Chains A and B, each alone.
Chain A
Amino acid sequence: MSDVMIEARDLTKRYDDVLALDKVSMTVRKGEVLGFLGPNGAGKSTTMKILTCFTAPTEGTAKISGFDIQEDSLAARAAIGYLPENNPLYPDMIVLEYLEFAAEIRGIAKADAKKRIKMIVEQTGLGAKFAQPIRTLSKGYRQRVGLAQALIHEPPILILDEPMSGLDPNQAVEIRDLIKEIGRSRTVVLSTHNLAEVQVACDRVLIISKGKIVADDTPDGLRERAGKARFVVGLIDGGPVDGSKASTDRAEKVLREVGGVERVRKLEAEAGEVRFEVLPKGTDDLRPALFKSAVDNQLTLIELSREGQNLEEIFRDLTTSAAKSASIAPAA
């Protein structure tokens, strides 16, 4: 039991008439990187604000590293490093000044603080920027400052609210790698609405929708749970398929008539190639049937592969329809 770092029980938050969180429970263990996934307004930030003791739940409780968020709020907060949404910082402060301030508030002794700051500046790659006012930094560097602030006291738990939103793709990858590295020795909860980030960075995913947890699984497990694979069929654009709409429609029709196929969709492809996505009705491997059908119809096959269904589709399925989500949600 001692490796449970975050334990939330039936967290409910009501803002006037709006139910922002509806009995959210979760357990996060030591060393886990948990992705908190959901559309905007689903309750991700509210959950994080409750766990970090910024706001109190209307009902329910949570323990952070064994400390109750209401009764032992100071001890709970001491165990957390937190990067709030939009990474608010004091623009007029110099990076070093800000980190010193954070270290002082965290009760780190002066001599230790110097060492810690040096280490953290190195770890987050802030090296050249630590004497600059925060307002002059790019968004990527500001994000590093926010992370450095959250890491200054070597917290066992890191809570990051949309740490990669608003960054350009290069910055996002850099920050994601940084989080991955940090996550090796810590428990990390990060929220996002970007699925690719979750797939790369997280061990476990919680999907939240309309204030309720609708799925709790590993990224792979989620994909498996959604069950169906998808097949990609690539044909040479030549011979029977000659680039005209009529010929691609014909090829599409051939694929659709293969037994066990539910849906066929044309995909983007490079010149000289036509690609289709084939979704099966069941879980059978359709590759032999697709191959045979292509040969029988004199279509030149250049690609035939089976892929797990995209996380994005699972996410859409889970968060758009309450009825569907109920069937996939754990029986908690």
Chain B
Amino acid sequence: MSKTLTIARRELTGYFNGPAAYIVICLFLILLGIFFWSPFFLVNRSSVRGLFDMMSVLLLPTTAAITMGLLAEEKRTGTIETLLTMPLRDTEVIIGKFLGALALLAVLLVLTIPYPMSVHHLGRLDWGPVWSGYFAVLLQGAAMIAIGVLCSSYTENQLIAFFSAGMISFAFWIVSRFLPFVPTQIASFIEWISFDYHYENMLRGVIDSRDVIFFLSIIGFSLALAFRSLESRRWS
């Protein structure tokens, strides 16, 4: 466990050692600000619903960007060899990398708290849905990060990792929009696998264990596949 955290900490400090973290955080906050505040006064309601809708969209490129290098870069430069010949389990590497990226996302989300606080200043805000909203963003973000770790484990090319992670997450995210066009027999399944459906449920302020379990399953499944990918080096 402690080795997992060592890896996670290295990743987190790694983001801040270079420009990566600052670029991602700045872009995220600026875009979120523009898209949240510009319609805010038109609607003229003290609600942060729009904030979480926007965050959900921004998560797609953000999670793909912060995960693309996690394993791909180590494979390209060969540092993976130093890392995996240390007395570490492959699972510790995968989970450590996942947690490192998740920690950066958490930092990012903490930095967005001034937005709902500003809303609170302008009109009374119900904080219950805000916290459940943050929980939903974090959970959906974690699922997207796990997909990013998976994509990064299959290639040495960060660009490929970025686009494949973005595409897969986007597919999970958009799929519920196609509900009207699919046969009714599979509609409920399509709904069930959609990120958006579970995210919307949680935004209503009710944390249902089914939604939580859905995202945890996506995380578990993706990380397990990433582990298989890392392990396959031994047999190829």
Complex Cα distance, B79 from A85, in Å, reads 10
- Of B3, B14, B234, the contact of A90 (CB 8 Å cutoff): B14
A105 at the interface (CB under 8 A from B): yes
Can you offer 25 A-B residue contacts whose CB atoms are under 8 A? A15-B236, A49-B81, A53-B85, A54-B81, A54-B85, A55-B233, A55-B234, A56-B234, A74-B87, A74-B88, A77-B86, A82-B81, A84-B81, A88-B77, A88-B78, A88-B81, A92-B14, A93-B10, A93-B17, A97-B13, A101-B10, A105-B7, A105-B87, A107-B3, A107-B87
Task: Check if A52 sits within 8 Å of B85, measured CB to CB.
Answer: yes
Complex Cα distance, B93 from A101, in Å, reads 13
Task: Check if B79 sits within 8 Å of A106, measured CB to CB.
Answer: no
Ranked nearest first, the 5 interchain pairs of A and B with the lowest CB-CB distance are: A88-B78, A56-B234, A52-B85, A78-B87, A84-B81
Task: Check if A56 sits within 8 Å of B235, measured CB to CB.
Answer: yes
A86 at the interface (CB under 8 A from B): yes
List which B48-83 residues lie within 8 A (CB) of chain A: 77-82
Query: A159 — nearest CB in chain B belongs to which residue?
Result: B85
Supposing A55-B233, A92-B18 touch, asked if A82 and B77 sit within 8 A by C-beta, the answer is: no
Supposing A56-B234, A56-B235, A105-B3 touch, asked if A92 and B85 sit within 8 A by C-beta, the answer is: no
Supposing A93-B17, A101-B10, A105-B3 touch, asked if A74 and B89 sit within 8 A by C-beta, the answer is: yes
Count residues of B near A (Cβ-Cβ below 8 Å).
Answer: 25
Classify chain A: how many residues form its interface, as a range.
20 to 34
- Chain A residues contacting B234 (CB-CB under 8 Å) are 54-56
| Residue interface bits B18-52, CB-to-A below 8 A is 1, else 0 | 10000000000000000000000000000000000
Query: A101 — nearest CB in chain B belongs to which residue?
Result: B10
| Residue interface bits A88-110, CB-to-B below 8 A is 1, else 0 | 11101100010001101111000
B229 at the interface (CB under 8 A from A): no
Task: Check if A89 sits within 8 Å of B79, measured CB to CB.
Answer: yes
- Interface hub of B13, B82, B84, B233 (most chain A Cβ within 10 A): B82
A80 at the interface (CB under 8 A from B): yes
- Chain A residues contacting B80 (CB-CB under 8 Å) are 88
- Chain B residues contacting A319 (CB-CB under 8 Å) are none
Given known contacts A54-B81, A93-B10, what 13 new A-B pairs fall within 8 Å (CB)? A53-B84, A54-B84, A56-B235, A74-B88, A77-B86, A88-B79, A88-B80, A90-B79, A92-B14, A92-B17, A104-B6, A105-B7, A105-B87
- Chain B residues contacting A149 (CB-CB under 8 Å) are 82
